[in-house]
Amino acid sequence: MKSMFLAVTLLAACASAWSQVNTVRPTLLTGPEAFGESLPQAQEVVQLAAQHGYNGVSLGIGIERMADPNNVDLSGVQAITHAAMQAGLKYICWRLDVDVPNNQLWADACNGGAIWPIATRPPSGAWSRIAAIWQQTRDISAAEMTANGVDPAKGLMFVMVDEPGIGGVGGPSLGPWSTSGFYYNLFLATGDPTWFTVAFPAELVGAPQGYIEPGFWTMLRGIRNLVKFGCKTYCVSFEGAEAALPNEVASVTGPDAQWVYANTYGFAMNVFGPNSRRTFDSISFTFTRANLTPVQEAAAWKTRLDKLLAMVRVNPILVNKRVVLTEFNVSTGRLPDLADYFPYREEILKQAMSYPNVDASMIFAAYSTDPTTASMQLFNRVVTNGVVSITPVGSNAVGPAYLNLVP
């Protein structure tokens, strides 16, 4: 009897310890920017996160819409932090970018009136203004957390710059509407490398897609050096594509990159399921989705993440760094039936929650904003005559049902 009592006690202790380990991991719902017209949606995401079992949210601050460097509005940061604390959430991650508006007001204030050629690579004169915005974001959010009894050193996180490689969200734009894209298209049309050096720094000539130019790290160091976070920061969100990732990782080099990572907690990764999304039949000209069960899909996702992390850790600057998953989900092209999406997301989320050496998992994204996207979001948001309706994607109510493990 005594031995049985001891065994039960040990099992209870182990279960309690396991629960404590698993309940402290941030599992966040991503949403839009807490700025301007998208602020109401960001507030909705806070409520959705609380209602459906997540313990935090990941949002942008809208720096690319802050049109006047002398009149920066960060009221949304305070509003969202307050709402999150009132809703019982424990974690907030702010996405910090550098792509301030490349307009005349910023040019006059920071660059002698000259608009810079690449919007996502502001000149050194703008770095202190960007750093001040980052610092204010930290201070406002931290103060609101503290007022609500949450330690910002534990509950506040930052990820600096999303996908900064060529062709990435935070990289030099290749779109025809951008300055860099215009000259890059001239380079493609003529083959004249002169146009490439106008579009991008000369150091990028001959570089493959995914390359992060050394000037990026100099810029990021110049900004990061001016900010006192006092909480966990991660840099950068790598684009989790097998083709681009090795080039992104290989370009994390030099004293500036080393300094940046010495002053951050780790790196971030955007990763979805395996790349082979679907099979194309050249005879019938039809696409067939991969017929995987939810558990198989989750296992395939884990296998892919293992591969990607191994690619990152070949870089000595990154080998011992922690990681956060800033965007993860499952692609529509990998599901046999979109109506059964819920169990697939559940299994992938379980893997992410329990993944070793992952500090936080942020599921992408709260809303289905683009019907042509290859990645599934969680909710459809429709506004009819000013009335907002939000419904889950798929035939099942959005869980996650098992997230009672998360406080």
Q: For residue 83, which of 54, 49, 37, 38 has the smallest C-alpha distance?
A: 49
Helix (H/G/I), strand (E/B), else coil: 354: helix
Residue extents of the structural domains in the chain:
26-166+209-405, 173-206
Pairwise pLDDT comparison (64 vs 340), residue with the higher score: 64
pLDDT at 230: 95
pLDDT at 178 over 50: yes
pLDDT value of position 228: 97
Write down how long the chain is. 407
Mean pLDDT over all residues of the chain?
Answer: 84
Picking from 202, 127, 207, the residue whose alpha carbon sits closest to that of residue 166 is: 207
Predicted pLDDT at 8: 35
Handedness of CA 297, 298, 302, 303 (dihedral sign): negative
CA distance 49 to 403: 11
For 96-132, the pLDDT digits (tens) are 999 999 899 999 999 999 998 788 899 999 999 999 9
Nearest to 345 by CA among 401, 276, 289, 270: 401
Q: Angle between the 127-147 and 214-224 helix axes, to the nearest 10 degrees?
A: 50
The percent of residues above 70 in pLDDT, for the chain, comes to: 82
pLDDT given at position 285: 61
Between 158-162, 224-228, 239-243, 390-394, the lowest mean confidence (pLDDT) is in 390-394
Mean pLDDT of 7-14: 38
Do residues 242 and 151 make contact, with C-beta atoms less than 8 angstroms apart? no
pLDDT for position 20: 34
Q: Give 394 or 40, the one with higher predicted confidence.
A: 40
Query: pLDDT at residue 276 above 80?
Result: no
Q: What does the block give as tokens for 166?
A: 């060529």
Q: What are phi and psi of 381, to 5 degrees?
A: -115, 120
Whether pLDDT at 6 is above 50? no
26-166+209-405 — its CATH code? 3.20.20.80
Question: What pLDDT, on the 0 to 100 scale, is given for residue 404?
Answer: 44
For residue 292, the cross-strand partners are none
Across the range 70-95, mean pLDDT stands at 97
Residue 156 has pLDDT above 90, yes or no: yes
Q: Give the pLDDT of residue 4.
A: 41
Q: What is the pLDDT of residue 162?
A: 94
Q: What are phi and psi of 336, to 5 degrees?
A: -70, -25
User: Is 260:253 a contact under the CB 8 Å cutoff?
Assistant: no
Which residues in 74-86 are b (16+ Cβ under 10 Å) and which e? Answer: bebbebbbbbbbe
Task: Categorize the per-residue pLDDT at 187 as very low, low, confident or very high, splitting at 50, 70 and 90.
Answer: confident
d(CA 178, CA 185): 10
Interval 301-327 mean pLDDT: 94
Q: What is the structure's pLDDT at 22?
A: 41
| Share of residues in the chain with pLDDT > 90 (%) | 51
pLDDT of 384 over the 80 cut:
yes
Give the residue among 202, 210, 221 at the shortest CA–CA distance from 170.
210
Q: What is the pLDDT of residue 5?
A: 42
Residue 12 scores a pLDDT above 50? no
89 vs 51, more confident: 89
Helix then strand count (H, E) for the chain reads: 13, 12
- 282 — pLDDT class (breaks 50, 70, 90): low
pLDDT beyond 90 at 160: yes
- Judge contact between 272 and 375, C-beta under 8 A: yes
Instruction: Give the confidence band of 201 by pLDDT, cuts at 50, 70, 90.
Output: confident
CB-side neighbour CA atoms (13 Å) of 81: 27
Q: Please, are residues 108 and 45 in contact by the beta-carbon 8 Å criterion?
A: no
Rounded Cα distance between 94 and 77, Å, is 9
**325 with 237: CB under 8 angstroms?**
no
Instruction: Reply yes or no on whether the pLDDT at 219 is more than 90.
Output: yes
- pLDDT score, position 173: 72
What is the spatial distance between Cα 49 and Cα 89, in angstroms, rounded to a whole number?
8
Q: Is the peptide bond before 400 cis (omega within 30 degrees of 0)?
A: yes
Q: What angle do CA 173, 124, 177 make, to 5 degrees?
A: 20
